[in-house]
Amino acid sequence: MRLQKYLAHMGVASRRHAEDLIRAGRVKVNGQVVTVMGFKIEPGRDEVTVDGRPVNEPERKVYVLLYKPSGYVTTVKDPQGRPTVLDLLRDVPGRIYPVGRLDYATEGLLLLTNDGELTLRLTHPRYRIPKTYLALVEGVPGAKTVARLRRGVELEDGPTSPAEVEIRRIKNGRALLKLTLREGRKREVRRMLAAVGHPVKWLKRIKFAFLTLGDLKPGEYRYLAPHEVARLYQMVGLSSPQYKN
C-alpha cells in the first residue's frame, strides 16, 4: 500500500495532508525518513511513525447490550469488592465501559461500548434519549400522584423533567408502574417515587432508546447489529460509523 494512502486509511490525515507530512520529512518507515511520494509499505509488517509516534490500527468499536442482573455495580472496579458488570463480559474483545449507570439493586438493559463520542451524547440530557423502566412500588399512586410524576417532581438537585407514567398492575397493595424518562440523573426513578410517597421495591430498565432486552436472560448479552449502531448515531446527530460486526 502506498504510504500516503496508508496514513489516510489509518485516520492520521487526509490523503493530501498525508503527502504534506511525507514531504516535510515527518514520516518514518522502519526508523528511516521517507520523503518519496508513492513509497510502498506492507501494513502490519512495516513500522510507520509520524513525528516519532507510531501509527497504530484504530481501536475496533464494540457495542454490547447486557441484561444486568441485580447485585452488580455499573463500574469498571468497585472499592468494596462487589462484582461489576464487566465480570459478566469475559469474552468481549478490548475494554468497554457502561453507557450511564444502573444502581446495584436495579436490573435490566445496559449498553457498554468503547465509543466515547457516542457514550457522551447518549448520556447528555440535550439529546433526551428515552429510558423505560418497570417499577414495583409500595402502595398505589392516585390520579394526583400520577399527574405530579407526569409534570415533574421537585428533588434536592432540582425539578425532574416530565415522565411518561402508567399503572400496569395492582396486587397486594402494591402497584407496578411503567415509566419513561429522558434524563439520566443518579437513582432518578427511585428518588422520584420516594418523593411522592411510593418507595421502589423492585426496578428494571426494559428499554433504552429503541433497544429492548428481547429474549436475553439476566447476565446474558449480545452485540448490537450494524443497523442498530447506525440508528443510535442518527439519534444523536453523528455520521454513521464505519462499523464492522
Q: Which residues are catalytic?
A: 103
Cell numbers for 128: 433526551
Q: ∠ CA(76), CA(216), CA(240), 5° rounding?
A: 70
Strand partners, 177: 135, 167
Task: Kindly provide the b/e burial profile for residues 192-207, where b requires at least 16 CB atoms within 10 angstroms of the residue's own CB.
Answer: bbbbbebebeebbbbb
Residue in the structure block whose three cell numbers are 464487566 = 86
Q: What span, in angstroms and rounded, lies between the C-alpha atoms of 206 and 107? A: 9
Q: What span, in angstroms and rounded, lies between the C-alpha atoms of 163 and 147? A: 9
Q: Is residue 190 helix, strand or coil?
A: helix
Residues with Cβ within 8 Å of 17's Cβ and at least 6 positions away in sequence, in order, are none
Let me know: does 18 contact 48? Beta carbons within 8 Å: no
